[in-house]
Amino acid sequence: MVTYKKTNMEIANGLKGKDLLSLLDYTSEEVAFLLDFANDMKQEMLAGHMPPLLVGKTLGMIFEKHSTRTRISFEVGMIQLGGHAMFMNARDLQIGRGESVYDTGHVFSEYLDGVMIRANSHEMVKELAEHTSVPVINGLTDIFHPCQALADLLTILEVKGSLAGKKIAYIGDGNNVAHSLIIAAAHMGMHAAVATPVGFEYDADLLLKAQEIATANGGSVVTTTNPVEAVKDADVVYTDVWTSMGQEDEAAARLEAFKDFQINDELVAYAKKDYMFLHCLPAHREEEVATSVIDGPNSYVFQQAGNRLHAQKAVLATLLG
């Protein structure tokens, strides 16, 4: 883990009221703090304690995309912290009928203590945050998925005991999940290897930023088109669906492009024997991952999904508290 140069209270106070749009906007100390706080939240809950840190607070949750884990974890998290979460389908809001993001953001600021949005466009979410005086949390956009990455690293930390120096291999589409995962791993001094087919690479500008962060923390980030090269000696093997929401028209072409990138028993044999398999879910068994892997003894996908709750609670309690 990153060594704190400030006290936890100083870090927490510095994050209060801040947006969470991308982990690029956070220091490595701040990411480490959120992971520690998420672990504390989980231990409190397992001990039967649910500190009411957000009594009287209301989180507005806007959804342009379908959701299972994001909606449930944020809603349950607010309840456990003593607050309230309000589900809002974007189609039912005036923003869905043409009201400007500028006006919507200012109106939200009059009613809510925070906004979580799961949206199509990252640029729209940035604009919303600009015009909203309360914290805006990115629940997923076309470029980033920061809350997922926090839950991912919390799971690795629980199983492996540490993050710095561990190798994580991401195999598949260079998408929003990949972007946030590798940036988070870089903050924690991990060694990340990304394997994507030609034409589906990790964003080049984000790759440079992740490499800079990793180098500063003693880690590294490399890319390849060879899944075996990426998985070799990995502590963690991670994948996502090959066709995300909104890409259904590309499904056939993507199946062909990704056919050699399935996480199966042959591929994970190159990883360490005690490797972890992670997937942000939902998964398409026998497509991006073999059933024998995702349902096998090295799979931690449901622990990972459960940790969305604790990561979300740490974010909510810090930014809204």
Q: Which residues are annotated as a binding site for carbamoyl phosphate?
A: 67-70, 94, 118, 145-148, 280-281, 308
Q: Is the distance from CB of 317 to CB of 37 less than 8 angstroms?
A: yes
Closest CA to 23 of 235, 277, 217, 230: 217
Known binding residues are: 67-70, 94, 118, 145-148, 176, 240, 244-245, 280-281, 308
Q: What share of the chain is helix, strand, coil (3-state, %, to 5)?
A: 45, 15, 35
Residues 6+ apart with CB under 8 A from 43: none
Catalytic residues: 118, 145, 148, 240, 280, 308
Other CB atoms within 10 Å distance of the CB of residue 107: 16
Cα dihedral sign, 33-34-35-41: positive
Give Rg (Cα) of the chain: 19
Q: Is the distance from CB of 137 to CB of 19 less than 8 angstroms?
A: yes
Dump strand ranges (E) for 100-205: 114-118, 136-140, 167-171, 191-195
Count how many Cα atoms sit within 13 Å of the Cα of residue 14 in the half-sphere of its side chain.
14
Residues 6+ apart with CB under 8 A from 41: 310, 313, 314, 317
Name residue 88's beta-bridge partners.
62
Known binding residues for L-ornithine are: 176, 240, 244-245
Q: What angle do CA 116, 121, 127 make, to 5 degrees?
A: 70
